[in-house]
Structure 1
Amino acid sequence: MKYEQLARDIIDKVGGKENVTSVVHCITRLRFKLKDEGKAQTEELKNMDGIVTVMKSGGQYQVVIGNHVPDVYKAVVEIGGFAGQASDQDDNQDTNLFNRFIDIIASIFTPILGVLAATGMIKGFNALFNEIGWLDPSMGTYQILAIVGDSLFYFFPIFLGYTASKKFGGAPFIGIAIGASLVYPTIGPLMETEPLYTLFTGTLFESPVHVTFLGIPVILMNYASSVIPIILAAYFSSKVERGFRKVIPDVVKTFLVPFFTLLVVVPVTFIVIGPIATWASQIIGQITVLVYDLSPIIAGVLIGGGWQVLVIFGLHWGLVPVVINNITTMGSDPVLAMTFAASFAQIGAVLGVWLKTTNQKLKSLSIPAFISGIFGVTEPAIYGITLPKKRPFIISLIAAAIGGAIIGLFGSRIYMIGGLGIFGIPTFIDPDEGMTTAFWAVMVAIVVAFILGFVLTYLFGGVNKELTPLEEGEPINPDGTDDEKNVPKSDENIVSPLQGTVLALCDVADEAFSSGEVGQGVAVEPQDGKLYAPASGTITTLFPTKHAIGMTTDNGVELLIHIGMDTVQLEGKFFTSHVKQGERIEQGQLLTTFDIAQIKGAGYTTVTPIVVTNLGDAKLSLTEAKSVKHGDHLMTVVR
Structure 2
Amino acid sequence: MSHKETAEQILDLIGGEKNIQNVIHCMTRLRFNLHDQKEAVQNKAKIEAVKGVMGVNVSGDQFQVIIGNDVPKVFTELKNIAHIPENNSGSSEGKKKGNVISRIFDVISGSFTPLLPAIAGAGMIKGILAILLALKLVSDTDQMYIILNAIGDGAFYFLPILLALSVAKKFGSNIYVAGAIATALLHPTMTTLLTSGDSISFLGLPVTAVTYSSSVIPILLAIWLTTYVERAVDKIIPSMFKLVFVPTITLLIMVPVTLVAVGPLGSIIGNWLSLGIGALFDHTGIFAGLILGGTFSLIIMTGMHYAFTPVVMNNLTTNGYDIILPAMLSANMAQAGATLAVGLRSKNKTFKSLAYSTSMTALMGVTEPAMYGVNMRLKRPFIGALIGGAVGGAFYTAVGVKYYILGGNVGLPGLTSFIGETFLLAVLGVPISFVAGTIATLILGFENVENTSSDSEAVPQEDSKKETVSQEGSNAEVKSEELASPIKGQVVPLNEVPDAVFSSETMGKGVAILPSEGKVVAPANGVVTTLFATKHAIGIKTEHGAEVLIHVGIDTVQLNGKHFTTHIEQDTTVKAGDLLVEFDIEAIKEAGYPIVTPVIVTNSADYTEVMTTASGNVDRNDKILNLK
TM-score by length of 2: 0.59
SS of aligned partner of 2:188: coil
Residue in structure 2 matching 1:361, options 319, 325, 350? 350
* Alpha-carbon distance in 1 for matches of 2:304, 2:64: 12
Q: What letter is aligned with 2:153?
A: D
- Alignment correspondent of 2:25: 39
Change (3 A) 1:327 1:476: closer
Displacement, 1:402? Answer: 0.4
Deviates more, 1:227-236 or 1:444-453: 444-453
Contact 1:120 1:416 in 2 (8 A): yes
* Alpha-carbon distance in 2 for matches of 1:102, 1:192: 32
* Alpha-carbon distance in 1 for matches of 2:325, 2:107: 20
Displacement, 1:36? Answer: 4.9
Contact 1:108 1:160 in 2 (8 A): yes
Displacement, 1:311? Answer: 1.3
Q: After superposition, what is the alpha-carbon deviation per residue over 1:93-146, rounded to whole angstroms, capped at 9, x for unaligned?
A: 441222111111111111101211211111112111110222211212221221
- Alignment correspondent of 1:215: 204
- Alignment correspondent of 1:271: 260
* Alpha-carbon distance in 2 for matches of 1:41, 1:233: 37
- Alignment correspondent of 2:415: 425
Residue in structure 1 matching 2:181, options 178, 182, 207? 178
1:371 aligns with 2:360: yes
Q: After superposition, what is the alpha-carbon deviation per residue over 1:154-184, rounded to whole angstroms, capped at 9, x for unaligned?
A: 0111011111111122111111011111111
* Alpha-carbon distance in 1 for matches of 2:123, 2:447: 38
Residue in structure 1 matching 2:60, options 43, 58, 61? 58
* Alpha-carbon distance in 2 for matches of 1:401, 1:475: 28
1:129 aligns with 2:132: yes
Q: What letter is aligned with 2:403?
A: I
1:451 aligns with 2:435: yes
- Alignment correspondent of 1:401: 390
Contact 2:184 2:190 in 1 (8 A): no
Change (3 A) 1:126 1:512: closer
Q: After superposition, what is the alpha-carbon deviation per residue over 1:58-86, rounded to whole angstroms, capped at 9, x for unaligned?
A: 2467899xxxxxxxxxxxxxxxxxxxxxx
* Alpha-carbon distance in 2 for matches of 1:172, 1:476: 50
Deviates more, 1:320-329 or 1:251-260: 320-329
Residue in structure 2 matching 1:388, options 370, 377, 380? 377
Change (3 A) 1:452 1:192: closer
TM-score by length of 1: 0.58
Change (3 A) 1:371 1:472: closer
Change (3 A) 1:61 1:319: farther
* Alpha-carbon distance in 1 for matches of 2:267, 2:259: 11
Change (3 A) 1:192 1:417: closer
* Alpha-carbon distance in 2 for matches of 1:317, 1:178: 24
* Alpha-carbon distance in 2 for matches of 1:132, 1:52: 50
Contact 1:60 1:103 in 2 (8 A): no
| Aligned ranges 1:101-140 → 2 under 5 Å | 101-140=104-143
Change (3 A) 1:441 1:463: farther
| Aligned ranges 1:243-282 → 2 under 5 Å | 243-282=232-271
Displacement, 1:192? Answer: 5.0
Displacement, 1:147? Answer: 0.6
- Alignment correspondent of 1:351: 340
- Highest RCO, 1 vs 2 (Cα 8 Å, sep ≥ 6): 2
Bigger Rg over Cα: 1
* Alpha-carbon distance in 2 for matches of 1:261, 1:305: 46
* Alpha-carbon distance in 2 for matches of 1:285, 1:474: 46
Residue in structure 1 matching 2:405, options 394, 403, 416? 416
* Alpha-carbon distance in 2 for matches of 1:454, 1:219: 51
Q: What letter is aligned with 1:264?
A: I
Q: What letter is aligned with 1:39?
A: H
| Aligned ranges 1:158-557 → 2 under 5 Å | 158-193=161-196, 195=198, 209=199, 211-418=200-407, 419-430=409-420, 436=421, 438-462=422-446, 464=448, 472=459
Contact 2:359 2:370 in 1 (8 A): yes
SS of aligned partner of 1:56: strand
Q: What letter is aligned with 1:231?
A: L
* Alpha-carbon distance in 2 for matches of 1:413, 1:510: 48
* Alpha-carbon distance in 1 for matches of 2:470, 2:149: 60
* Alpha-carbon distance in 2 for matches of 1:174, 1:60: 32
* Alpha-carbon distance in 2 for matches of 1:135, 1:127: 10
* Alpha-carbon distance in 2 for matches of 1:278, 1:514: 53
Displacement, 1:233? Answer: 0.7
What stretches of structure 2 of length at least 5 have no aligned partner? Answer: 1-20, 32-47, 67-92, 451-456, 473-628
Change (3 A) 1:273 1:473: closer
Contact 2:23 2:30 in 1 (8 A): no
Change (3 A) 1:173 1:357: same
Q: What letter is aligned with 2:59?
A: S
* Alpha-carbon distance in 1 for matches of 2:162, 2:364: 25
* Alpha-carbon distance in 2 for matches of 1:227, 1:513: 46
Q: After superposition, what is the alpha-carbon deviation per residue over 1:534-579, rounded to whole angstroms, capped at 9, x for unaligned?
A: xxxxxxxxxxxxxxxxxxxxxxxxxxxxxxxxxxxxxxxxxxxxxx
How many residues are aligned here? 401
Q: What letter is aligned with 1:167?
A: K
- Alignment correspondent of 1:77: none
* Alpha-carbon distance in 2 for matches of 1:63, 1:374: 29
- Alignment correspondent of 1:143: 146
* Alpha-carbon distance in 2 for matches of 1:367, 1:53: 22
Q: What letter is aligned with 1:139?
A: D
* Alpha-carbon distance in 1 for matches of 2:316, 2:462: 54
Identical positions, percent = 34
* Alpha-carbon distance in 2 for matches of 1:353, 1:99: 34
Give the alignment's Cα RMSD to 1 decimal.
3.3
Q: After superposition, what is the alpha-carbon deviation per residue over 1:287-333, rounded to whole angstroms, capped at 9, x for unaligned?
A: 22111111230111100010001112222222222212222222211
Contact 2:401 2:425 in 1 (8 A): yes
* Alpha-carbon distance in 2 for matches of 1:93, 1:323: 31
Q: What letter is aligned with 2:419?
A: I
Contact 2:164 2:178 in 1 (8 A): yes
* Alpha-carbon distance in 1 for matches of 2:426, 2:461: 43
Q: What letter is aligned with 1:335?
A: I
Displacement, 1:429? Answer: 1.7
- Alignment correspondent of 1:487: none
- Alignment correspondent of 2:598: none
Contact 1:357 1:463 in 2 (8 A): no
Change (3 A) 1:135 1:256: same
What stretches of structure 1 of length at least 5 have no aligned partner? Answer: 1-34, 65-89, 196-208, 431-435, 478-504, 516-639
Displacement, 1:394? Answer: 0.7
Q: What letter is aligned with 2:248?
A: F
Change (3 A) 1:328 1:407: same
- Alignment correspondent of 1:632: none
Displacement, 1:346? Answer: 1.1
* Alpha-carbon distance in 2 for matches of 1:473, 1:291: 40
